[in-house]
Structure 1
Amino acid sequence: MYRLDDGRYIIGFDDGYQLGKTANFVFDNGIHRLGTTEPTLKENSLFYDGEYYKVGEGRAAITEDKVSDDDARFRTMAAMAMELRKEAVHNAEVVLAAGLPFSNYGRDRMKLIDYYTQQTDLDFTYEGDEYSVTVEKVIVCPQCYSAVASRLGNMKGDYLVVDIGSKTTDVVYVQNGLPIESRSITIEKAMVKWIKEIQGGMKVQTGKDIPEHEVMKAALKEDSNLPGAYVELIRGMLREKMHSLELELAERGYSMEYTNIIYVGGGALIARDYAGRYRNHTAYDCDLCANAKGYEFLARQIEGKKVP
């Protein structure tokens, strides 16, 4: 979050299909409606317009878009509350900086702005604390590009920036610090689809239904209750997924052998541990909040604030 000279606050929010991310916080994207029943625990609880919700418990189902119901608004309220609470602020005018997949940006930008500007005055309670927020402006930024926006001036030569998300993988081609839109794409394959395929493969090979969170523990090399043989099977499948992604990028005309590659965001953790080729000219920016920080950087530029 950044406070502008006129008292408004810029808050960047990356509303992913698995995790919500601000510049400082990461939380699960699940929404559970409790109705008028007050929750037993205040953690992750949101009260808005006479109803209670749990925000940030589990993963929400993949949907075609995020503007067909109020769930994205609830996640955004929780995200704003987290950032405002960090600075002990409870009443604020906010410039909301959000994002869209790079290839969908032109098509869906106004839809997202319209969605957030339908309800700009938000009075709500999050985890027992009251907030009064006015969404004064909405700025929409392209994902992946945003994650490297602050360093574009230092990117000399050709770069392939790859953001493996939950639903899509964004690929932005950068040449001497300038994104080349005609060579930038969004691929409809990413972590949630890979996890489902791995779960299917494990069912075939072991006869067991492996929970999603256990697959992720194995993938991220965290402590797991799975047998060691199962963990190795999962990691082997992830290596195949990363190899398949690299092949697809090569088939789409990218010179993987000679182009600098930067993996950004949470997917960079997977690429770092499971991508097998091109390591001598590949970097891994594993900051899960990279896009949210980039949204704030771009919003500050748009609002006329020089960014160091």
Structure 2
Amino acid sequence: MRIQKGGIEMVKIGDGRYVIGFDDGYQLGKTANYIFDNGVHMLGSVEPTLKENSLFYEGEYFKVGEGRAAITEDKVSSDAAMLRTMAAIAMELGSAGIRRAEVVLAVGLPFSDYGRGKLGLADYYARHGSLAFSYEGDDYEVGIAKVVVCPQCYSAIAARLGNMKGDYLVVDIGSKTTDVVYVHDGLPIESRSITIEKAMVKWMKEIQREMKVQTGKDIPEDEVMKVALKEGSNLPGAHAELIRGMLRERMRSLELELAERGYSMDYLNIIYVGGGALIARDYAGRYRSHAAYDCDLCANAKGYEFLARQLVGKGAA
């Protein structure tokens, strides 16, 4: 699966380098302009029949963007993240007709992992400073001139912090974790910001198990997700309603945990960002009167580019 989000607008700084943000999620990869499945499959030395989603690197062919990869403890212990990143870079550059470029790569980590993980992630990408690869039949030569590592969730709202007066709770329900950033008068308060081990992939697995118990049926994860996102599903109406009820339970559980962790949910302005905002919008209810939903799945990737541009130079072309 690959989705293009509107027109392609790339960030180019004054020295000719391009800024490319890549949000390497545990379910989807997102750039500022593209969304794709995060699965990586090694094919070996034999050229694939179809060029779609195919990447050729160091003598091996891969399919990047077909299905979901298994959740791992980190992204730096294998080459899979690098292969996804090459595909992401090719999508962005290729859409602009660019095959050779120096790029500033902007990537992210969960908010609570940022301090201890940023050097390792930057080093992981810096080791691949010069890349020569083919994607969907086109050859690319890419130099990674600089790596900027950004905190997730914060990045999604970084460009609007100046307008956030008062107290806000920014919630990013991701695939593996939920990041929560507390903002006071436009300033993130790190001591009140957390990462919770509750997120979409875990919820999907739990719902699949509960559906098996209640219906005796093995419901595929993608069918559960179709119901969650109100997309077309072939599931019986009664099964879909059960899934919707389970999603409401999980949103209530997340809201309760936030309240138990000391957040005054009755009074705070709440902003849900990213893909999880779609679930929050449709299945949360108690705090709707003071909650907002930024449902742009590319919000973090765009935020990474915004922060990287601030860091490396103001001269955007």
Short-chain TM bin: over 0.9
Query: Would you say 1:208 and 2:217 are equivalent positions?
Result: yes
Q: Deviation digits for residues 79-116 of structure 1, max 9, x if unmatched?
A: 00000011110000010000000000000000001100
Compute the displacement of 1:276 (Å).
1.5
Partner residue, 2:285: 276
Residue 11 (str. 1) matches residue 11 (str. 2): no
**What's the counterpart of residue 245 of structure 1?**
254
Structure 2 counterpart of 1:183: 192
CA distance in structure 2 between the aligned counterparts of 1:21 and 1:259, rounded to whole angstroms: 29
* Matched position secondary structure for 1:194: helix
Corresponding residue number in structure 2 for 1:150: 159
Q: Distance in 2 between matches of 1:250 and 1:151?
A: 25
Distance in 1 of aligned mates of 2:307 and 2:99: 24
Correspondence for 1:26 among 35, 38, 42: 35
Q: Report 1:101-120 matches (<5 A).
A: 101-120=110-129
2:92 is equivalent to residue 71 of structure 1: no
Q: Does 1:94 align with 2:103?
A: yes
One-letter amino acid matched to 1:129: D
- 1:192 aligned residue: 201
Provide the rounded CA distance (Å) in 1 between the counterparts of 2:264 and 2:162.
Answer: 22
The number of residue pairs the alignment matches comes to: 308
Q: For 1:119 and 1:34, locate their aligned partners in 2 and report how far apart those are by CA, in whole Å.
A: 21
1:306 is displaced (CA, Å) by 6.4
Separation in 1, partners of 2:95, 2:148: 22
Task: For residue 73 of structure 1, report the CA deviation from its aligned partner.
Answer: 0.1
Q: Distance in 2 between matches of 1:33 and 1:188?
A: 30
Equivalents in 2 of 1:97, 1:153: separation in Å? 22
Equivalent residue letter for 2:98: V
Alpha-carbon displacement from aligned partner over 1:152-181 (angstroms, at most 9, x marks no partner): 000000000000000000000000000000
Q: Secondary structure at the match of 2:102?
A: strand
Q: Which of 292, 301, 304 in structure 2 is aligned with 1:295?
A: 304
For residue 304 of structure 1, report the CA deviation from its aligned partner: 2.2
CA distance in 2, matches of 1:14, 1:216: 20
1:50-85 Cα offsets, whole Å, 9 max, x none, are 000000000000000000000000000000000001
* In the alignment, structure 1 residue 234 sits paired with structure 2 residue 243: yes
Contact 2:13 2:313 in 1 (8 A): no
Q: CA deviation at 1:119?
A: 1.4
Q: Secondary structure at the match of 1:283?
A: strand
Q: Which amino acid aligns with 2:151?
A: P
> Runs in 1 of length 4+ with deviation above 3 angstroms?
none
Q: Distance in 2 between matches of 1:27 and 1:81?
A: 13
Deviation at 1:37, TM superposition (A): 1.1
Among residues 64, 71, 83, which one is paired with 1:62 in the alignment?
71
AA aligned opposite 1:106: G
Provide the residue aligned with 2:6 in structure 1: none
C-alpha deviation, 1:189, in angstroms:
1.0
Task: Please list the CA deviations of residues 271-296 of structure 1 after superposition, one character each: whole Å capped at 9, or x if unmatched.
Answer: 00000111110000000000000000
CA distance in 2, matches of 1:94, 1:276: 43
TM-score by length of 2: 0.96
Gaps of 5+ in 1: none
Contact 2:129 2:143 in 1 (8 A): yes
1:81, 1:194 → 2: CA distance? 32
- Residue in 2 aligned with 1:305? 314
**Unaligned stretches of 5+ residues in structure 2:** 1-9
Determine the structure 1 residue equivalent to 2:3. none
